[in-house]
């Protein structure tokens, strides 16, 4: 028998999203692929981990600000040669919203990256009420690779989860420190971790542990993006019980969907494991490659000059991600916002209205470029490749041919 509740749920799926989602007073729920209800502030500092030989960790924090209390200076994200990106969203150092304690999300950059590699994602999450902290993983940043100070791979894999745990502890301490801008603002339990590429491994390792580095029990939701999951053993992945949101691009050859995303999707032992594959997206569609490139080009520093100024690693990602016929960057990053906000609002804030976006039905109706696999659709790899991924890739190629 079809119950009244079932009919209501089915009917809600047919409505436009803005109509289908409302709070108990009938007010529209903030859409996850748009900026949220708060303004955004930004602060930066350098942390020192005295327990690890005074290890420095440059840190950027984005946070919610009450509308009308924005700062007067836009946040500026420095790149090189005095150039950088001026934010259209965040302002520098306004007061942190004091309406209530906020959930914390730590973002972990990729190998050879830095803490401003995913500005849009961090700003969007902050606008939805999260405090987002992004460290530079010292020894594994773009500057380290330029200067020859990069650490061996095994050392970086060991350091990264410890960096994230240190940042979590630092933000909790700030919340408990009288007079600190974040006093009473950070919720110290149910922390989220998101990360891209090597940062995707880091997010997974926060829940699984890696070798002699234990999992951090404060981390209760993770979002590995194009993850380098092969670093982790089957047993480590199987030990993960936290809600997990996996996001990847089907054209990624750096951390291919098979096996880097499919394997953890199949192995993670959590009742809430979601996976979204963006058909046609590359590895760097989830970072600010095109914004960085645009800032350099606008200053007269084009791709042919990048190797001369230490930006040679930018050339290939730029050509794959920012130049036609690449998958549209705005679409990929909007989809990234959609799933990040929905996932963390659902699993850090407990707002089950956002489960609506974490379903195959929603993707089928609203996101034609997404292959979505929910918690109860972890079918076999052969089924995915034969009946889902191959037909969708063919459809994508047909669209591209028609467009050209």
Angle between helices 119-127 and 329-347 (to 10 degrees): 40
Q: Which residues, 6 or more positions from 251, have their beta carbon under 8 angstroms from its beta carbon? A: 280, 281, 282, 327
User: At 13, is the pLDDT very low, low, confident or very high (cuts 50, 70, 90)?
Assistant: very low
* Domains, in order of start, for the chain: 33-403 (3.40.50.1820)
Q: What is the number of residues in the chain?
A: 404
306: which DSSP letter?
A: G
253: which DSSP letter?
A: S
21-64 pLDDT tens trace: 665 556 678 999 999 999 999 999 999 999 999 999 999 999 99
The Cα–Cα gap between 223 and 203 comes to 7
Q: What is the mean pLDDT of residues 313-341?
A: 96
Burial class (CB in 10 A: 0-12, 13-18, 19+), 212: exposed
Q: Which residues, 6 or more positions from 337, have their beta carbon under 8 angstroms from its beta carbon? A: 32, 33, 34, 120, 121, 124
209-224 pLDDT tens trace: 999 999 999 999 999 9
Closest of 291, 363, 292 to residue 32, by C-alpha: 363
Q: Are 108 and 81 in contact (CB under 8 A)?
A: no
The chain-wide mean pLDDT, for the chain, equals 89
Predicted model pTM = 0.89
The Cα–Cα gap between 243 and 192 comes to 10
What is the separation of C-alpha 370 from the centre of its chain, rounded to a whole number of angstroms? 16
Residue 16 scores a pLDDT above 80: no
Q: Count CB neighbours of 236 within 10 A.
A: 20
Q: Are 226 and 255 in contact (CB under 8 A)?
A: yes
DSSP-derived secondary structure for 151-198: PPHHHHHHHHHHHHHHHHHHHHHHHTSTT-TTTTTB--SSEEEEEETH
User: At 5, is the pLDDT very low, low, confident or very high (cuts 50, 70, 90)?
Assistant: very low
Decide: helix, strand or coil at residue 229: helix
Q: Are 303 and 313 in contact (CB under 8 A)?
A: no
160-193 pLDDT tens trace: 999 999 999 999 999 999 999 999 999 988 999 9
CA distances from 325 to 54, 75, 250, 304, 399 (A): 46, 32, 15, 20, 11
Question: At 402, which helix (H) or strand (E)?
Answer: helix 390-403
């Amino acid at each position: 028998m079809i119950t009244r509740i079932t009919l209501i749920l089915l009917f809600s799926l047919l409505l436009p999203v803005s109509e289908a989602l409302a709070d108990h007073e009938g007010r529209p729920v903030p859409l996850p692929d748009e900026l949220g209800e708060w303004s955004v502030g930004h602060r930066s500092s350098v942390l020192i981990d005295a327990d690890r030989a005074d290890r420095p960790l440059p840190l950027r924090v984005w946070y919610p600000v009450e509308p009308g209390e924005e700062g007067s200076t836009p946040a500026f994200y420095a790149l090189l040669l005095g150039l950088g990106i001026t934010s259209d969203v965040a302002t520098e150092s306004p007061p942190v919203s004091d309406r209530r304690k906020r959930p914390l999300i730590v973002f972990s950059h990729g190998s050879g990256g830095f803490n401003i590699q995913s500005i849009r994602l961090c700003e969007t999450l902050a606008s939805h009420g999260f405090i987002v902290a992004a460290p530079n993983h010292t020894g594994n940043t773009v500057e380290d690779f330029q200067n020859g100070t990069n650490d061996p791979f095994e050392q970086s894999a060991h350091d990264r989860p410890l960096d994230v745990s240190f940042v979590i502890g630092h933000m909790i301490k700030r919340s408990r420190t009288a007079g600190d801008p974040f006093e009473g603002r950070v919720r110290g339990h149910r922390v989220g971790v998101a990360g891209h590429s090597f940062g995707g491994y880091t997010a997974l390792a926060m829940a699984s542990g890696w070798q002699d580095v234990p999992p951090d029990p404060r981390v209760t939701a993770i979002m590995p993006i194009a993850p380098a999951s092969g670093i982790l053993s089957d047993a480590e992945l199987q030990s993960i019980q936290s809600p997990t949101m996996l996001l990847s691009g089907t054209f990624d050859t750096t951390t291919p969907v098979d096996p880097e995303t499919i394997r953890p999707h199949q192995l993670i032992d959590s009742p809430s494991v979601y996976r979204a594959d963006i058909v046609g997206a590359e590895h760097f569609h989830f970072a600010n490659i095109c914004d960085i490139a645009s800032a350099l080009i606008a200053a007269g520093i084009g791709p042919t000059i990048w190797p001369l100024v230490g930006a040679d690693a930018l050339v290939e990602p730029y050509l794959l991600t920012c130049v036609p016929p690449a998958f549209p960057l705005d679409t990929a990053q909007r989809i990234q916002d959609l799933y990040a906000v929905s996932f963390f609002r659902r699993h850090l804030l407990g707002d089950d209205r956002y489960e609506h976006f974490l379903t195959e039905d929603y993707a089928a109706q609203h996101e034609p470029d997404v292959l979505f696999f929910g918690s109860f659709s972890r079918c076999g790899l052969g089924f995915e490749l034969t009946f889902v991924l191959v037909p969708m890739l063919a459809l994508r190629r047909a669209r591209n041919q028609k467009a050209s």
